Amino acid sequence: MTGPSLTVETPAGRVHATAGPLQDDAVVFELGGAMRGSVYVTGTHDPHHWNRFTAVRACLGPVNSFRATAPAEDLPRLARSCTGYRGSLTLYRDDLDRPQVTVYPMESAAGHEPSRKTEATLTAVLRGCAEHVAQREDLFVILEGARHRDTPALLRFLTWSVAHHQADAARLEREARAAMPACRAAVAAWWTAARWFIACPHPVLLLVLADYPGSLSRTVAVEQWRGPYCRTAAVREREYARRAQAEADSLRAAQDQSRSRRPAPHSATPQEPERAYFVIGQWKGDGEVEIWHIEEAPADPAARADAHDQHASDAEDSFGSVEVVYATSPQAAAEQARREARQTSERIHRDLTHS
């Protein structure tokens, strides 16, 4: 059974898109006319508000490209071309209720950039399909399905983000406090040298008073700048942490509300809850990670930030780093860390191909 169809005018000609039946949280369009293949449209969060599932994402191909990779032969292509393309587009509304679009870079199955005409064609088709879904009467069902699907991963990221920004804020606040006595000591040393120069002018003392990299004068200027800068940056990091925490709390509230509406099956086996773990090691190229130590992170945010900062300081001495991973056990945390390292490496590789 075919659903409603739409016609999109593109630089390559008219593209006809026919919507298939609703698939849980997505609609798949079959393309005809100037393009062949399919477009997968689902709900997603607002790019600027991760707790608000009010946006629509359209992906080239029959699957959600943020969760799976479509085979090259299933990617959409121009009617007279054999080259399939990957890419996606997010349609959302800004604070003034104006439609906005964010386009993820398009690329061929071989990793090459499309021509401007082809890119404009792909973008027009993605936007047309996204706008069609955004006007559906059952959009709420699609967005709720997307919220249920993406909330666990978003909560893991936002909880890590809170700890990360709090740790950065604590480090910057320590640097701001250290800058004050360092500045006073540098100023005192400069004036001591100045009094010596007045009492007994000498070229060496003049060199001590001069402004050049590493000099007392430059140290005074740097420490005078470092204190206010670190205080301002710490406030900014605290705000980032506050916003991430607010978005995480909002997602958890929506998740709890959704669970309360669904009857719990009596035969369901209770799952062990996920906990935060510090994964300490060295992240290498190609998504590989050498894990040195894993330990469960404190539940208290302040204690977790302090522990993270201490582990990060120790790891830096050996050119390592610390990641916060959510899992049910240390073994699962290790597997999750390796999986996230591979995914991060793949995203960086994709980004570099477009730079």
CA atoms 242, 244, 248, 251: torsion sign: positive
* Tokens encoding 107: 């690329």
Amino acid 350: pLDDT = 54
CB distance 25 to 146 below 8 Å? yes
pLDDT, position 267: 43
Q: Hey, how many other C-beta atoms are within 10 angstroms of the C-beta on 84?
A: 21
Predicted local distance difference test score (pLDDT) of residue 338? 81
Q: Which residues contact 238 (CB under 8 A, 6 or more apart)?
A: 165, 166, 169
pTM of the model: 0.65
Q: What is the mean pLDDT of each run of 10 residues along the chain (355 residues)?
A: 79 94 89 94 92 94 83 90 93 90 91 93 95 92 91 88 91 90 87 85 80 83 88 92 91 77 49 78 74 87 77 78 82 82 62 51
Q: Which H, E and C letters describe 250-316, residue by residue?
A: HHHHHHHHHHHHCCCCCCCCCCCCCEEEEEEEEECHHHCEEEEEEEECCCCHHHHHHHHHHHHHHHH
CB 280 within 8 A of CB 291: yes
